Amino acid sequence: DNTSELRPTHPLALAPVVAPAASVDGFAKQFLQNLNFDQGVTLSSSDVNDQYLALAYTVRDYLMARWFDDRAKQKTQQAKTVCYLSAEYLLGRQLDNNLLAARLTDIATEALAQCGIDIDAVRAVEIEPGLGNGGLGRLAACFIDSLATMSVPTIGYGIRYEYGIFRQAFADGQQVEQPDAWLRMGSPWDFAHPEAAQTISFAGHTETYDDEGVERTRWVPEWNVLAVPYNMMVPGYHNGRVNTLRLWRAVATNAFDLHTFNSGDYVESVRAQTFAENISKVLYPEDSTPQGKELRLQQQYFFVAASIADFIDNVLPDDFDLEGLPERVIFQLNDTHPVIGVPELMRVLVDEKKLEWDAAWAITQKCFAYTCHTLLPEALEVWSVDLLGRLLPRHLEIIYRINDAFLLQVREQFGDDELLIRNMSIIGEHPYRSVRMAYLATVAGSKVNGVAELHSQLLRDNVLKDFATMWPDKFTNVTNGVTPRRFLRLANPDLSALITEALGAGWTVDLERLRGLEALADDADFRERFAAVKAANKRRLSRVLEARGDTPLDDGHMLDVMIKRLHEYKRQTLKVLHIVSTYEGIVSGRLDVDDVQARTFLFGAKAAPGYGMAKRIIHLINAVGEVVSADERVQGKLKVLYPANYNVTLAESIIPAADLSEQISLAGKEASGTGNMKLALNGALTIGTDDGANVEIRKLVGDDNFFLFGMSEPEVEALWAEGYRPSDFYQQDDDLRRAIDLIASGAFSGGDRTVFEPLVSNLLYDDRFMALADFRSYLDAQDRVDAAYADQDAWVRAAILNVARSGYFSSDRAMRDYLDRIWHAAPVS
Ligand code: Z15
């Protein structure tokens, strides 16, 4: 394939591409060659970043031949490709994952050692690509790992943000954001292909024209940008498959031509170029609260239009009959961010490929499926008709036409129920005319899925109720999953070794085999070894924290972790109330310090930079932590740690060390959660509400091995209906009152009562997420946790059962569910 158009005669050019020898010598040779000829340094003059880059290039070299093969096969095989469309991929570090996938870890370690290099030092300099915010982006990364491991032809499409999620620092306990210049030290894992760039257009107007007697519409855009693809390898685990993650970067076109641009002004013209390149400049840092900014819509259209064009032009064979598109591709919409792809495919099929509208719509409906990740009304994206019409005038026309046909169908099925029509319309009227992207996705998609059983049920019952009545079969559930390669095998090598010794190595790709550990939960020797692994993981985390300049862990403490984005619905505040209440109990003498289980409360969370309340909560956690951790009356029994800049890399150290997993969102608010799965899989016990995937975790691990508390979703609804007054709970619960009063008194703000006043009044007079209503139940559950932890043998047994029963939460299983229920695609050999 290398040689198709050329007519080579050299025997080397005729030979297939081969990987370097899979031996220590072969690896060392390639590594030194890359150091010399790609990095341009000798071993003795190299620094650790040179060594990292040369090592990364070497790993790449081993994967390259397989990558060529798999891309060539994609064209010739008739198999269906999964095109995962996602604005975010929160990948985490690549080196270790790729070494593992290619079975090169030991070889590389030894080869570098023979070069005098400690591979751990090299590992540590990799900057993770943080091209996502939180759960949704990390889920996309887990899914492409599983699809590669299962040999499913997949292309992940997204955006190559120049700046990923911001770096978080604390100044006086408050979050400050710094830009994430992740590309500064080089980017060894991706390959630019400027020759495969797509031109993406914006704005302008539409017009009709006579096309040999047929009236057609065309879009006359006003400006455009180039979308340059950067390909990343996505290697499967031990199966020799290498899929592609294709991320788009915006580059100015030569003919960049804003109507405001005056061609005589050179400096102005260069400025105009940077305007175009802004499109892929930075990831929007809001997780589940979109801001409706024009640049964000530009980003969405930019990557989706480039991806659809790329698939049709470059992945499918030339002269492909587009009637057959649904047999060759499924475009999976990861939330509403890529939904503008629906009118884009219609525009391509109708305006460019000149298909009839009805035929194009039939194809489009089969080619898309939609995953919804939220229930929060403020997270459902809408775009004002005004903005969308200005930026994408043809797409707005297409959306109107889709809506007209859809509302006609509603009338046919349900009669002229004007209220129903208004409620179901893709176009909302209040507070301004807008396009409801979730509705557009639901109308267009062949399937709509939620991400946990409860979430999918609530979608059917509330958020998308009328649509579920109209098309009951369109709705389905696929409970999320996480990749056991990164989050068990790599993150927890000691537990992995223990499991492999007990069960053999197959669990890494067949996680249900962890069931085999159930029997060992009753084996005292195994429990002892399991506990030793947990203790070693805590020491390892402690060293990681110390190396970052954070406080290390105290011996003998229970490690109680809450690691997730900072959001009011997740209720970090409820956790703080528990800490403050325990602290207040000790200092007031009502609690005997000897009766308190020593605990370290560890938080990891970023707040969206514009989310004021979330930032105040961060400040409160740090302020409480400072006072509580230092107060001698507590005798070191309570420690609060909040290492800054929680990310995938830090998660990989925290999760294996955790004893207790805090999953305490208000029931009905967390769509699924995936940290909950990672923690259970690593032997943490969960204290949690009946929300998201917690419900399924509890069902699987058993009530005895899970600390349930709080209102159920129907109870939440009932309390709202009855009229929720948080101050009643404050008045009626002495512990709650004392905890809130202590915060209000300025005890954590140097006597200044104003600092946390907005937070306290929010709790007392609003409390949208009902922290006060669940407080008592939460404290009771924490007492059960303390009691359970006191019996270490029983605790360890429960921890083992959590591991043994978490196999269901592998993203491999999630991918099988998508393949069977939604994609109707299959692995290839
Ligand atoms: C995001 O991370 C999630 C939902 C969203 O709507 C957006 Cl915009 C970002 C999260 C959910 O909050 C979480 O419950 C879920 O586990 C995750 O997506 C993956 O489905």
Q: What is the 3-state secondary structure (H, E, C) of 420-487?
A: HHHHHCCEECCCCCEEEHHHHHHHHCCCEEECCHHHHHHHHHHHCHHHHHHCHHHEEECCCCECHHHH
Distances (CA, A) of 576 to 41, 213, 716, 748, 771: 52, 71, 21, 12, 11
Secondary structure class of 805 (helix, strand, coil): coil
Q: Which residues are CB-neighbours of 643 under 8 A, at least 6 positions away?
A: 545, 548, 550, 602, 604, 650
Report the nearest-CA residue for atom 8 of ligand 1: 288
Ligand 1 centre to CA of 138 (Å) is 9
Best residue among 287, 339, 375, 696 to mutate for probing ligand 1, ranked by most atoms within 8 Å of CB? 287
Ligand 1 centre to CA of 180 (Å) is 22
Q: Give the ligand 1 atom nearest the CA of 371.
A: 20
Q: What is the rounded CA–CA span in Å between residue 80 and residue 67?
A: 18
Find out whether the beta carbon of 288 lies less than 6 Å from any atom of ligand 1: yes
Active-site entry in 564, 669, 797, 805: 564
pLDDT along the chain (829 residues), means of 10: 74 93 97 98 98 98 93 85 98 98 98 98 98 98 98 98 98 98 96 97 98 96 95 98 97 65 67 85 91 93 98 94 98 98 98 98 98 92 97 98 98 98 97 97 98 98 97 98 98 98 98 98 98 98 97 97 98 98 97 96 98 98 97 96 98 98 98 98 99 98 98 98 98 98 98 98 98 98 98 98 98 98 94
Secondary structure class of 663 (helix, strand, coil): strand
Q: Is the Cβ–Cβ distance between 682 and 658 less than 8 Å?
A: yes
Note if the bond before 431 is cis, omega within 30 degrees. yes
Ligand 1 centre to CA of 819 (Å) is 21
- Model confidence pTM above 0.80: yes
Task: Name which of 424, 431, 417, 161 is nearest 296 in CA terms.
Answer: 161
Torsion angle defined by CA atoms of residues 370, 371, 373 and 378, in that order, rounded to the nearest 10 degrees: 0
Task: Name which of 287, 178, 185, 281 is nearest 644 in CA terms.
Answer: 178
Find out whether the beta carbon of 139 lies less than 6 Å from any atom of ligand 1: yes
The question of whether 395 is a catalytic residue gets the answer no
Distance of CA 467 to the CA centre of its chain: 27
* Placement of tokens 């175009």 in the chain: 276
Look at residue 4 in the predicted model and tell me its pLDDT.
Answer: 62
Ligand 1 centre to CA of 637 (Å) is 35
Residue 368's DSSP bridge partners are: 331
The question of whether 293 is a catalytic residue gets the answer no
The question of whether 570 is a catalytic residue gets the answer yes
Ligand 1 centre to CA of 672 (Å) is 7
| Identity of residue 662 | E
Best residue among 90, 142, 373 to mutate for probing ligand 1, ranked by most atoms within 8 Å of CB? 373
The question of whether 639 is a catalytic residue gets the answer no
Instruction: At 676, list the tokens.
Output: 């909950």
Active-site entry in 508, 674, 686, 689: 674
Active-site entry in 447, 678, 797, 805: 678
Q: What domains are defined for the chain?
A: 78-93+128-477 (3.40.50.2000), 491-816 (3.40.50.2000)
Task: Name which of 256, 291, 259, 236 is nearest 815 in CA terms.
Answer: 236
Query: H or E stretch including 641?
Result: strand 638-641
Q: Give the ligand 1 atom nearest the CA of 670.
A: 14
Instruction: At 133, list the tokens.
Output: 């915010």
Look at residue 72 in the predicted model and tell me its pLDDT.
Answer: 85
Query: H or E stretch including 797?
Result: helix 792-804
Find out whether the beta carbon of 135 lies less than 6 Å from any atom of ligand 1: yes
Residue by residue, DSSP assigns 614-641 as HHHHHHHHHHHHHHHHH-GGGTT-EEEE
- Work out whether strand 427-428 and strand 154-159 pair parallel, antiparallel, or are unpaired: unpaired
Ligand 1 centre to CA of 475 (Å) is 18
Instruction: At 78, list the tokens.
Output: 């008739």
Find out whether the beta carbon of 683 lies less than 6 Å from any atom of ligand 1: no
Find out whether the beta carbon of 252 lies less than 6 Å from any atom of ligand 1: no
Ligand 1 centre to CA of 355 (Å) is 37
Find out whether the beta carbon of 673 lies less than 6 Å from any atom of ligand 1: yes
Find out whether the beta carbon of 180 lies less than 6 Å from any atom of ligand 1: no
Best residue among 288, 482, 611, 817 to mutate for probing ligand 1, ranked by most atoms within 8 Å of CB? 288
Find out whether the beta carbon of 374 lies less than 6 Å from any atom of ligand 1: yes
Q: Give the ligand 1 atom nearest the CA of 693.
A: 16
- Work out whether strand 382-384 and strand 434-436 pair parallel, antiparallel, or are unpaired: antiparallel
Report the nearest-CA residue for atom 18 of ligand 1: 136
Active-site entry in 373, 486, 489, 557: 373
Report the nearest-CA residue for atom 3 of ligand 1: 136
Active-site entry in 570, 575, 616, 669: 570
| Identity of residue 557 | H
pLDDT (tens digit per residue) in 573-603: 999 999 999 999 999 999 999 999 999 999 9
Report the nearest-CA residue for atom 1 of ligand 1: 136
Task: Name which of 175, 173, 174, 167 is nearest 625 in CA terms.
Answer: 173
The question of whether 565 is a catalytic residue gets the answer yes
Q: Give the ligand 1 atom nearest the CA of 480.
A: 20
Find out whether the beta carbon of 735 lies less than 6 Å from any atom of ligand 1: no
Find out whether the beta carbon of 694 lies less than 6 Å from any atom of ligand 1: no
Q: What is the rounded CA–CA span in Å between residue 518 and residue 526?
A: 11
The question of whether 674 is a catalytic residue gets the answer yes
Q: Is the Cβ–Cβ distance between 619 and 174 less than 8 Å?
A: yes
